[in-house]
Each structure stands twice: as C-alpha cells, then as structure tokens.
Structure 1
Amino acid sequence: MQALIHAYLRAGLVPLIILGLVLGAIIGALLPSVGIAVGILGSIFVGALKAVAPILVFVLVMAAVTSYRGSGGNLRIKPVIVLYLFGTFAAALTAVAASFLFPTELALSAVESVEQSAPQSLPEVLTNLLMNLVANPVKSLAEANYMGILTWAILIGLALRHASDTTRQVVSDLSAAITSVVKWVIALAPIGIFGLVAATVAETGLSTLLSYARLLFVLVGSMLFIALVVNPIIVSAITRKNPYPLVFACLRESGVTAFFTRSSAANIPVNMNLARKLGLNEENYSVTIPLGATINMAGAAITINVLTLAAAHTLGIEVSFGSALLLAVVGSLSACGASGVAGGSLLLIPLACSLFNIPNDIAMQVVAIGFIIGVIQDSAETALNSSTDVLFTAAADPKYAYQG
C-alpha cells in the first residue's frame, strides 16, 4: 500500500487529473449507472475542500497578520485588489461588446420559473456585503462567509501581534498543520475529479445544451477572450515579461479543478497550494486569494451582462451606449457581491435586468436558463474567476516577478 501511495504521488498531480478527466468521461458516457455511482467520490472531494477552506483562510490570515512586523514592505494587497476590480470591469465591458456583436434571443416562455430569492437593488447587495463583514465569527466559519472570516482573522491577528512569542509560535504551528491537511486533500484531486466528470456526463450529457449553443458561444467565448487575451495584457503590463507561462500554469493547475468543483470557495485550498509552488509571499496570498474568491468575479460579470442583454434583445428593448456602460458598472459591482459557490452569479441577474425595467418573473426565467446551461457556463465562469485569483496575486508579487 505504501509503495502504491508513493507511486501515486510521484506520477504528478496534473497528469493524474487529466487521466481522471478521460476515465470519468468514458465511464459516464458508456456506463451511466456506474458514473452516477462513482459521483460520490466527487462529492466527497468537494465536501472536503469546502470543509477545510474556511478554517484554512481563518488560520492563515490570522498567522500572517500576527507574524507581520511591517519591515521590508513585502505586503502587496492593494495592487491585487485594484487588479481584481479592473479585471472584473474589463470582463463586463467585454460581455457587453460580445452581446452587441452576437445578439442572442431566449425562449423565455418555455422556461420553468426558479424559486429562489435574489437581491432586488444595488444597495441591497452592498448592504449584504457590509453585514457579512460584521457577522458572528463562528457563524462565518460554519457558513463559509469569507468576508466575515477575513474580518475576524485580521482583527484577531492584530490583537495577537502583542502576544508572547510562545503564543505567536502556536499560531504559526497551527497554520503549518492546516497547510499540511490541505496538501493531503489536494492529493485526492484526480480521484475527486474522476467522480465529478463521470457523474456530470452520466446525468446531463450534451443534448440539453444544444438548444443554447449560441448563448454558450457568447458566454464561453467572452471568458476565453478574457483568460487568453485581456488578462495576459494586464499581467504583461505589470511584470514586463511574457505572461503566458504564468497564465497557462494558473489555468492548468487552478482552472481545471475549479471547472469541475464549480466553486471559487472550494478552490481556495488549490489556489493556496499553487501560490506556494510559485514561491509567492504567503503574507500576500493568504489574504488576496480568499478575498479574490469573494470580489474577483470576471466570469460572473460576463454571465450577468450577457444573460441580461439576451433578455433585453428577446423583449425587443433597445439598449443605448449609456445604458450599456451603466450595465457594465452595475454588472461589475453585482459580480463582486456574487457568492463564491456554484450558481451564485445567476441570482444577481434580476438586479441587472431591473435597469431595463424587465419584470422580475421574466428575469427569473433567465435565471432558470442559466441553471440549465450551468453545467458549462458556471464551470467556465468559476475556472476563469479562480485561476485569475492566483494570476493577479502572482503578477503583483515582487518575488514572482524576480523569479521571472
């Protein structure tokens, strides 16, 4: 058994994930009942990631703040936040442009309504964000409220900076222990992805998606444009180096996993591990990566804007340049309030639709379409969101820029 484990670890994570992808797709297509059965492996993997992510973020951020002494000016938090916001707005503009170049109409009358509540106004979204900052710390950990977790981790870390050396060492040791647990969980990624792919192919296939091919083309095409054109331009402007080795590394090691977990929050441990492998400053990435899972939402901005404009085109609503620009701004802000879990961005579509006075029942039908195509849309969205968290963190990190 020990020899088997060593052979598994020596094979490398990426080749094993690719093998899991291929085997999962084959089993899901040829043996659907087996595919659904092994789906439990994927559920266990995602469950383990979601379970460890909140405590990982809390402990790492607390340890980073506790140990930071302000010397050397190594922290690069603000530039990363600026990159997150700029990247999200660039994605929103891209989505608007793509929607005008390839206008899409939806079969709204045939869609079953979705019974889920969604924010009805921008102040409501912002209020929810602010309330999350001061949420009960225990509740924040239990419900994976990362804004609350970050707030309390920073506050407790600041308080512990004046604690004894022994106390600070305990916090540091706890951080190292949690990091080790995360490595164990990530080592199971190929098995988990095998189960996720097998179950997805067995349950959905591709037939349902054919009727929404044009919509998916606009959505996924916009996301690919951001991932392979816009983001590399941004990174190149900052680092003055060829951005594609870093871009492809982030897509390969973070984007692939996020594509199948469909949760930025669940992918936090994966991103933390990738940031460590890239040699980034832990004081930086322990804060920026969980923060990115909350506010770095380029994929969500694309989803919100493309589906909103598709609804407007379907209803024959003329969208002026000013309205489109306002939609890009609102879409960006709304995306930053999107949940870090699967389908979180879809529930903010009614907010964007309200700009064009689209009735809420129609908007919720658009949300339903989002859930229908979610097997691809939400997967691609999360892959873009999560991989960009590491990409921008690395771009702003002097250590990575130095290594080149």
Structure 2
Amino acid sequence: MRKLGLLPKILLAIILGIVIGSFSPEWLVKVFATFSGLFGNFLGFAIPLIIIGFIAPGIGELGKGAGRLLGLTTGVAYISTIVAGLLAFFVATLLFPHILEVGGLVNEYANPEEALLAPYFTVDMPPVVGVMTALLLAFTFGLGAAVIKGDSLQKVMVDLRAIVEKLIGSVIIPLLPYHILSVFTNLTYGGQVKMILSVFAKVFVIIIALHVLYLIVQFLVAGQMGRKNPFTLLKNMLPAYFTAIGTQSSAATIPVTLRQTKLNGVNGKVADFVIPLCATIHLSGSTITLVSCSMAVMMLNGMSTSFAMMFPFILMLGITMIAAPGVPGGAVMAALGLLESMLGFNTTLTSLMIALYIAQDSFGTACNVTGDGAIAVIADSLSPKSKA
C-alpha cells in the first residue's frame, strides 16, 4: 500500500467501501462510521490551521521579489484562475441539470444524512478559530509581513507552514483513503452509492474536456500576445503535461515546465521567475475541478448553485489557491474551509468532494502546469525586460 500513489489508494478505497458496504452487518458499518466521524472532526479542527499556515506565508512571500513582474504575473494568474472558475460554472449550469439527477438524494430521502448509520461515539474537536476568522488572520498577517518587511514574522509563518505541511503529509493524506473507504461503506449500506458513482463518471468526462478547452484558450491568447503559433506553444508544453500526470505535483514538475517554457522562446530570466511562482499561485485546472465537483455534489443534494452564491466562492478560491500545499490533493485541502463556510458543505459532502476531486487530481495538475507556460509567454510579452 505504501508504494501506491494517492489516486490508486483512493480508487481502491472506493471499491473496497462498495464491497464491504454491500454485505457487512450494521455493527461493522457503524465501526467505519465511527472512524469517519472522528477523522471528519479532526479535519474540521485542522482546516483553520491549513488556511493560516499556507495563505499567510504565501501572501508574505508575494510581497518580495521582482516588483512589476511579480505584480504582473500575479494579476494575470489570478485573472486566469477566475476565468477558469467562471467557465466551469457556466458549463456546469448548462450541462449538469441534463446529465445529473438534480436533488436525487433529497428526492429519495427527506434528509440524506438519515440513510447513513450514526457512529458509536463522537469526540468534539472544535477548531481554534472559525474559517472566516482564519482567512482574515491569514490576510492580515500575510499582508502585514509584506508591508513592514517583517522577517521575524515571516519566519514564524514559514515554520507554521512547515508544521502544517507535515500534518497534511504525515497524518491527513495517509488516513484519507481509510476515511473515503469508511464513507463509501456507509453510503453503500444506505443505498446511495450507485447514484454517486454515476455522477463521478459523467463529471469526470466534462472536467477533462474543460481542461483541454481552457488550455486551448490560454495558448490562443498567449500566441496572440507573444506573436507565436499557439498550437506550437501548446505542443512544446506537452512533456510538462504528461510529467504532471505522473507526479501530481506542480512543484515537482517545475524543471520540465521551465525547460519547455524556454523552448517556447520565453526570456530566460522571465521564465526562471514566472514558472516557480505560477506553480504556487496559478491553479486554473484545479479551480475548474473544484467548481465543477462542488456544483455536482450540491445539485445532487438539491442545494442552490446560483451565480450569486458561486461567484464569491470563485473569487475567494482564486486567492485560497495560493494556500494549496505541494502534495497530491493539496488544492481541495486548501479549499475545504470555503466549501464549509461559503457553500454549506457538511462532513459527508466534504468527503464526496474529496473523493471526486482526487479521482482526477493528476489531470488538474497537468492543466495547471501546462497553463503556466502560457502565463509565462504573456508575462514575457508584457515585460519591459523582454522588450529591451
């Protein structure tokens, strides 16, 4: 099991959960429900720490560097992320009502939670602060450290990030497959899993199509601004795309992304700055996935997915993506606070969201890093240094 990547573990957990939930007695399912409840509560405790631990030092670090190029790249990356989220929203609004059984769980159960077995016991693990308080603290400390150039405060925040990274990498991610297994065992026992798996398959296809479409749009814009053939630019970035599918990490793919970006004729100094930065702040593929998956889960549960609700979520998601840790599934971990505070997700919905997201996480990462190449071309075309 240790040699398997996160995606195979999640897929194996889903399969085992369906098998176990199909024939297990009630007492055994309640054991899984107890583990799932404990892990879900711990995750709720960790969410504010994740938000503060990643957003605060991330914003603080953005305050240092190459001045205009930093602001330019950050602005372009943020706009790209927001446009990606809006594309996902409009496509989901247009297609999902026709391919998903909207309100399917609510139609079958007055309260979807009633079909799930309750755990034997629960342990309250209240978070230190609320999600919105954590976001405000992260913005305040991050911006404050950047403005006053507070090296001591920045070092503390970087150390906090290292602790949270260790928490995610050593505790949350290893236990996540068992949490997913427990959730799907309970869902199968309650008779809900067939509908949910059909959602997985349909949404997966649409998300991959959106990734491809958005990459074409990005490189059409980059080609126009850089006066280069957009399809040649995109073709040159394919090694980075396929490397990211294997690594599931934007950071781990930086060497390949950087090499292919320079092959596209981007100024070396610009590429050396933009690509590592975008590996942290430009997650358009992950945003497409998060918006699509969240809307699918919400529609399945009969929840509102209006523009008035989703647009603020997308705007905040563009900022929160700065917090995404460099581990598989990091983007959805960073977004859990927004899912709970802005969209009203509970523990069960969060678990479905994590499973649905991680099932195609590698493709989202591949879209992210390939799009970084387009951002680099755009930044290069706008940079005074490249014109000198």
TM category (shorter chain) comes to 0.5 to 0.7
Question: Any idea what the Cα deviations from partners look like across 1:59-108, whole Å, max 9, x if unmatched?
Answer: xx9xxx8xx9x9xxxx8443322221111011000111121122246878
Question: Any idea what the Cα deviations from partners look like across 1:254-287, whole Å, max 9, x if unmatched?
Answer: 1110111000111112222223444433332222
8 Å contact from structure 1 (residues 349, 363) kept in 2:
no
Please give the alpha-carbon distance, in whole angstroms, between the structure 1 residues aligned to 2:381 and 2:229. 15
8 Å contact from structure 2 (residues 270, 379) kept in 1:
no
> Structure 1 pair 92/336, CA: closer, same or farther in 2 (3 Å)?
farther
Please give the alpha-carbon distance, in whole angstroms, between the structure 2 residues aligned to 1:140 and 1:363. 28
Query: Which residue in the other structure is 1:238 paired with?
Result: 225
Query: Which residue in the other structure is 2:21 paired with?
Result: none
1:340 matched to 2:326: yes
Superposed CA RMSD in Å reads 4.2
Q: How many residues align?
A: 265
Please give the alpha-carbon distance, in whole angstroms, between the structure 1 residues aligned to 2:240 and 2:226. 21
Amino acid at match of 1:98: V
8 Å contact from structure 1 (residues 303, 345) kept in 2:
no
Q: CA deviation at 1:335?
A: 2.5
Q: CA deviation at 1:226?
A: 0.8
Please give the alpha-carbon distance, in whole angstroms, between the structure 1 residues aligned to 2:328 and 2:307. 31
Query: Which residue in the other structure is 2:84 paired with?
Result: 91
Question: Any idea what the Cα deviations from partners look like across 1:113-146, whole Å, max 9, x if unmatched?
Answer: 9xx999963553464475597135995997898x
TM-score by length of 2: 0.57
Counterpart mapping for 1:274-353 below 5 A: 274-353=260-339
Give 3-state SS (helix, strand or coil) of 1:102's partner. helix
8 Å contact from structure 1 (residues 292, 389) kept in 2:
yes
Query: Which residue in the other structure is 1:214 paired with?
Result: 202
Q: 2:131 aligns with which of 121, 142, 154?
A: 121
8 Å contact from structure 1 (residues 304, 335) kept in 2:
no
Query: Which residue in the other structure is 1:392 paired with?
Result: 375
Please give the alpha-carbon distance, in whole angstroms, between the structure 1 residues aligned to 2:270 and 2:161. 21
8 Å contact from structure 2 (residues 266, 377) kept in 1:
yes
8 Å contact from structure 2 (residues 294, 353) kept in 1:
no
Query: Which residue in the other structure is 2:363 paired with?
Result: 380
8 Å contact from structure 1 (residues 91, 302) kept in 2:
yes
> Structure 1 pair 246/359, CA: closer, same or farther in 2 (3 Å)?
closer
Amino acid at match of 1:90: V
Q: CA deviation at 1:336?
A: 3.1
> Structure 1 pair 224/315, CA: closer, same or farther in 2 (3 Å)?
same
Question: Any idea what the Cα deviations from partners look like across 1:180-225, whole Å, max 9, x if unmatched?
Answer: xxxxxxxxxxxxxxxxxxxxxxxxxxxx987721120222222122
Amino acid at match of 2:374: L
Q: CA deviation at 1:245?
A: 0.9
> Structure 1 pair 240/83, CA: closer, same or farther in 2 (3 Å)?
same
Q: CA deviation at 1:349?
A: 4.3
> Structure 1 pair 399/365, CA: closer, same or farther in 2 (3 Å)?
closer
> Structure 1 pair 388/240, CA: closer, same or farther in 2 (3 Å)?
same
Question: Any idea what the Cα deviations from partners look like across 1:373-396, whole Å, max 9, x if unmatched?
Answer: x24x11111001111112211232
Unaligned runs of 5+ in 2: 1-60, 106-111, 120-124, 147-153, 166-195
